[in-house]
A = this chain, B = another copy of it.
Amino acid sequence: MKTIVVGGAGFIGSNLCRALLEYGNQVVCIDNMSLGNIRNIEDLINNTNFKFYKEDVINNEVLLNIFAKEMPETIFHLAANSDIQTSAKNPWVEYCNTYTTTFSILECMRVCDIKRLFFASTSAVYGDKRDIELTEDTPNLAPISYYGAAKLGSEALIQAYSYMNDMKALIFRFPNVIGPKLTHGVIYDFIKKLDKNKEILEILGDGKQTKPYIYVKDLVDAIVNFTNDIKPGVEVYNLGVTGATSVKRIADIICEELELKNVRYEYTGGESGWKGDVPQFRYCLDKIHKTGWKAQYSSDEAVRKTVRDVIEERKTDA
């Protein structure tokens, strides 16, 4: 199958490109390299089934030319701002990089008559509903971050485009995604901080923020398998794992793996790491588990495995 992965040089995107190639697909990767990095895809560049365009998908004319030239069967849309903490201070980032990317991609699909779409959505569309187990049918979605709002707006666009143009779309609402080639987030931050100071670790919030973390290999395997059989209309799944890991527990695992003892944790306080961050959420996974899919790694296992990946990468880089 010929595919386009938009945002394919990012952390999740590059892992997805790799998985798609392993399953025998042709992959056209488009990335503006704002958060993507050539190092994420350098092992793929010489693969004859892989092609890379450094372009910004907000530029609808450029994107249309690529779509029209490549005419893929399926689009994997992972182009978004992924650094919620940054966009909390500048909502334009989400307007441009998360919402307008979706609009631009859907417009090109409409014009080129491309029918199959995978979309990377997020738990952030629900907003702060920590008291309930979130199902795909939970009402009153009320994002508290500009990121969540732009993703929910994107989901709404996909619903309308799908209906108007008989597209088939699969939407996964991701939890936190971690693994090799991580570029930001709590694990990345803590390891960087401990690099500088092995005695004191500053922890944003009260450390009790507790979320499910999925290992990126689990995630991209699910994406590849589910997109083989996209149903007409729009199908939405919560994608998740067993358990959840607190920020304090992440700090503990990192210190264990780095063999650091007696690190003093200094909490900045408050229940959220920053305004717009949902401190806790729990997914009901009945819908996706009924399909037979289950993540291989639990949340704690994913964290530990990722910490080892990052430590390993740093050795290679050094």
| Interface-centre pick from A100, A142, A234 (highest chain B CB count, 10 A) | A142
Q: A89 CB to closest chain B CB, in angstroms? A: 10
A interface secondary structure, majority: helix
From B91, B144, B152, B160, give the contact of A107 (CB < 8 A): B91
Pick from B92, B110, B136, B149: contact of A160, CB below 8 A.
Answer: B149
Q: Does A24 contact B (CB under 8 A)?
A: no
Are B276 and A127 in contact, CB atoms less than 8 angstroms apart?
no
Known: A148-B156, A149-B156, A153-B99. A276 touches B163 (CB 8 A): yes
Contact present for A164 and B137 (CB under 8 Å):
no
Residue A143 at the chain B interface, CB threshold 8 Å: yes
Say yes or no: is A237 at the interface (Cβ < 8 Å to chain B): no
CB of A29 to closest CB in B, whole Å = 25
Residues of B within 8 A of A141 (CB): 141, 156
- Nearest to A124 among chain B residues (CB) is B160
Complex interface: chain B residues within 8 A of A148 (CB): 156, 160
Which chain B positions have C-beta within 8 A of A163? 127, 142, 144, 276
Interfacial chain B residues near A99, Cβ < 8 Å:
99, 153
Q: For residue A154, which residues in chain B have a CB less than 8 angstroms away from its CB?
A: 153
Contacts of A92 in B (CB 8 A): 107
How near does chain B come to A152, taking the closest CB pair, in angstroms?
Answer: 4
What's the minimum C-beta distance from A210 to chain B, rounded to whole angstroms?
Answer: 20
Identify which of B91, B106, B159, B276 contacts A144 (C-beta below 8 A): B159
Query: Which listed residue (B106, B156, B275) contacts A153, Cβ 8 A?
Result: B156
What 1/0 flags go to A133-173 for Cβ under 8 Å of B? 00011111111111011101110110111011000000000
CA–CA, A127 and B161, complex, Å: 12
**Given known A-B contacts A91-B110, A103-B95, A143 and B156 have beta carbons under 8 A apart:** yes
Q: Which of A137, A150, A153, A161 is the most central at the interface, judged by chain B CB atoms within 10 Å of its CB? A: A153
* Contact between chains at A143 and B159 (CB < 8 Å): yes
Contacts known (A140-B137, A142-B234, A153-B153); A160 close to B276, Cβ less than 8 A: yes
**Does B164 lie within 8 Å of A145, measured CB to CB?**
yes
Q: Would you call B127 and A159 a contact (CB within 8 A)? A: yes
Q: Is A164 a contact of B95 with CB atoms below 8 Å?
A: no
Asked if A44 lies at the interface with its beta carbon under 8 angstroms from chain B, I say: no
- Any chain B CB within 8 A of the CB of A38? no
Chain A window 171-190, contacts with chain B (Cβ cutoff 8 Å), 1 for yes, 0 for no = 00000000000000000000
Minimum C-beta distance from A34 to chain B (A): 19
Q: Does A88 contact B (CB under 8 A)?
A: yes
CB under 8 Å from chain B, chain A span 70-102: 88, 91-92, 95, 99-100
Residues of A bordering B, CB below 8 Å: 88, 91-92, 95, 99-100, 103, 106-107, 110, 125, 127, 136-146, 148-150, 152-154, 156-157, 159-161, 163-164, 234, 275-276
